[in-house]
């Protein structure tokens, strides 16, 4: 029976450069790249720019069991010489070869490895890996993931435009969000992407967009399963107090509304999203069990439901503790039987687990100071470039890029930036050798929700981004912003 309590009445709805390699790392052949003989040197690489191409197992233990650890594997490694390397390239040498300002440094190969982990885990299932563009919207990274077969998950009209620019197949894109604008939904309807229904007014707007575009829209119902993901409340999205999704008791009302608009809507799936930084895969299993029961109810009313979208949110080892966290295979295997039992196609929306551990924010030490009982390492990076610690009190591993001076005292420091806020910190209570001025310091696991959340607060301009290519060369994949860029917004006013 349709619910009688609706939030709003709608007219459409029914009432209701040249750098050193790590000598201990073997040199891999350079694929399909011809270099002049003067550049062919197994211990060298070159810095260059990248052109845009727009065309197209470990098992997690129960929570009451002791934490397991394993040897930590990462594209960033500290060698016996005391230097930090990324894919066999010394980070210090990269610092010496690029402009002197904070920058993001990625491993392109690590992005590929992370995607392949999901692709291998999904073997045997019809599926879409939809990369959560909000995690990192660098165009070069999007083009690379698209080339690996990824779809895209979008939460704004501009993310949709960017995905189309990057060449993503609209049939493998999902438009999410609790406040989608009509003009953006019109673009979604014209493009042919999946659209999630999040509320009564959202459904109203989707119907309007379908009529304006003259296209039927493939929609999924985002159902709030009220499952506690046991994460920071700011990144919990699937509990009853979340702003996202529809309440399960209103499911029938939405089904009646969709039935009333066969020319505009085709219901093809159900969607849920629990949150982010999730480290227990049984939470996904519990949500999937609820969702397939909802799908059974929906199918009983004659809808042809093909897709279950379980969202994303798999966490990573930010502490670099060696803890055994769930892998993509662990996640997929917890829901595999449920998906197969209903002959469903699975949509997964990874962001953090695809991109976070591929990158670090590289900074320089401005100086060291002590106030009372607190020791501070002041760097040129800040909350403007990387806000997660300030916003969520999030932990990200920090270390020096090069060995400290012999005899440097090891102390406990807060690592802070120059921004005029006491909240401007990258890490608190970190035990580090006392660094010299100008030394490099990195904040690890900065690929997700760092550059995409960067600002120009205190007029600190957003930094450049680089990655290490498969052949060992370093390429700029985003220009740093400049003061002149800021002034441009006021030109001719």
Contact 240/288 with Cβ under 8 angstroms? no
> Residue 359 forms beta bridges with which residues?
106
Q: Scan for tokens 């698209």, then name that residue.
A: 146
Q: How confident is the prediction along the chain (493 residues), in pLDDT tens digits per residue?
A: 333 333 333 444 443 344 445 544 433 333 332 323 222 233 444 455 444 333 333 332 333 333 344 444 679 999 999 999 999 999 999 999 999 999 999 999 999 999 999 999 999 999 999 999 999 999 999 999 999 999 999 999 999 999 999 999 999 999 999 999 999 999 999 999 999 999 999 999 999 999 999 999 999 999 886 655 444 443 344 445 555 668 778 889 999 999 999 999 999 999 987 766 777 888 888 888 889 999 999 999 999 999 999 988 788 899 998 888 889 999 999 999 999 999 999 999 999 999 999 999 999 999 999 998 899 999 999 999 999 999 999 999 999 999 999 999 999 999 999 999 999 999 999 999 999 999 999 999 999 999 999 999 999 999 999 999 999 999 999 999 999 999 999 999 9
User: Pick from 323, 465, 324: which is nearest to 385 by CA?
Assistant: 465
Output DSSP code: residue 236. Answer: B
Annotate 64-129 with DSSP letters as a single string: TSPPPB-----SEEE-TTS-EEETTEEHHHHHHHS-SS-EEEEEHHHHHHHHHHHHHHTTTS-EEE
**What pTM was computed for the model?**
0.85
- C-beta pairs of 112-115 under 8 Å, 24+ apart in sequence: 112/144, 112/148, 112/470, 114/353, 114/354, 114/355, 114/357, 114/358, 115/145, 115/148, 115/149, 115/150, 115/354
d(CA 211, CA 189): 9
Cβ neighbour number for residue 99 with a 10 Å cutoff = 11
Q: 408 burial class (0-12, 13-18, 19+ CB within 10 angstroms)?
A: middle
List, by residue number, the catalytic residues: 420
User: DSSP alpha helices (H): ranges in 192-306?
Assistant: 200-213, 251-259, 282-300
* Tokens standing for residue 196: 């999630």
């Amino acid at each position: 029976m349709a619910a009688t309590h609706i939030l709003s009445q709608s007219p459409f709805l029914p009432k209701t450069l040249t750098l050193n390699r790590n000598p201990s790392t073997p040199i891999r052949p350079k694929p399909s790249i011809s270099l002049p003989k003067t550049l062919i040197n197994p211990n060298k690489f070159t810095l260059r720019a990248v052109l845009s191409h727009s065309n197209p197992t470990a098992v997690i233990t129960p929570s009451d069991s002791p934490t397991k650890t394993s040897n930590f594997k990462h594209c960033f490694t500290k060698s016996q010489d005391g230097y930090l390397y990324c894919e066999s390239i010394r980070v210090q040498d990269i610092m010496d070869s690029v402009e002197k300002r904070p920058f993001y440094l990625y491993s392109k190969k690590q992005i590929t490895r992370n995607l392949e982990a999901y692709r291998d885990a999904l073997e045997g299932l019809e599926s879409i890996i939809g990369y959560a563009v909000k995690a990192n919207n660098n165009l070069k990274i999007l083009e690379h993931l698209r080339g690996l077969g990824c779809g895209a998950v979008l939460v704004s009209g501009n993310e949709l435009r960017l995905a189309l620019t990057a060449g993503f197949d609209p049939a493998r894109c999902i438009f999410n969000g609790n406040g989608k604008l009509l003009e953006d939904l019109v673009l979604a309807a014209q493009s042919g992407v999946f659209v999630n229904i999040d509320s009564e007014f959202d459904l109203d707007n989707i119907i309007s967009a379908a009529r304006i575009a003259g296209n039927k829209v493939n929609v999924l119902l985002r159902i709030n399963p009220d499952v506690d993901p046991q994460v920071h409340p700011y990144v919990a999205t699937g509990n009853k107090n979340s702003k996202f999704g529809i309440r399960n008791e209103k499911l029938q009302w939405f089904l009646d509304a969709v039935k009333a608009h066969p020319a505009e809507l085709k219901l093809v799936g159900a969607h849920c999203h629990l949150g982010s930084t999730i480290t227990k895969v049984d939470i996904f299993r519990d949500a999937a069990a609820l969702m397939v029961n909802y799908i059974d109810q929906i199918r009983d009313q004659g809808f042809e439901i093909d897709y279950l979208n379980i969202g994303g949110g798999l966490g990573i080892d930010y502490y670099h503790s060696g803890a055994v966290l769930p892998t993509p295979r662990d996640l997929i295997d917890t829901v595999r039987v449920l998906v197969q039992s209903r002959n469903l196609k699975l949509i997964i929306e990874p962001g953090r687990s695809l991109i976070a551990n591929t990158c670090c924010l590289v900074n320089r030490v401005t100086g060291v100071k002590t106030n009372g009982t607190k020791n501070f390492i002041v760097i040129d990076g800040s909350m403007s470039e990387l806000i997660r610690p300030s916003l969520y009190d999030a932990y990200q591993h920090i270390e020096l890029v090069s060995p400290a001076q012999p005899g440097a005292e090891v102390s406990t420091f807060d690592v802070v930036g120059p921004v005029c806020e006491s909240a401007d910190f990258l890490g608190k209570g970190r035990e580090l050798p006392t660094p010299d001025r100008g030394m490099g310091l990195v904040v690890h696991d900065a690929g997700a929700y760092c550059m995409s959340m960067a600002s120009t607060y205190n007029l600190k301009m957003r930094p450049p981004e680089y990655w290490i290519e498969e052949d060992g060369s370093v390429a700029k994949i985003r220009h740093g912003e400049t003061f002149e860029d800021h002034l441009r917004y006021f030109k001719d006013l």
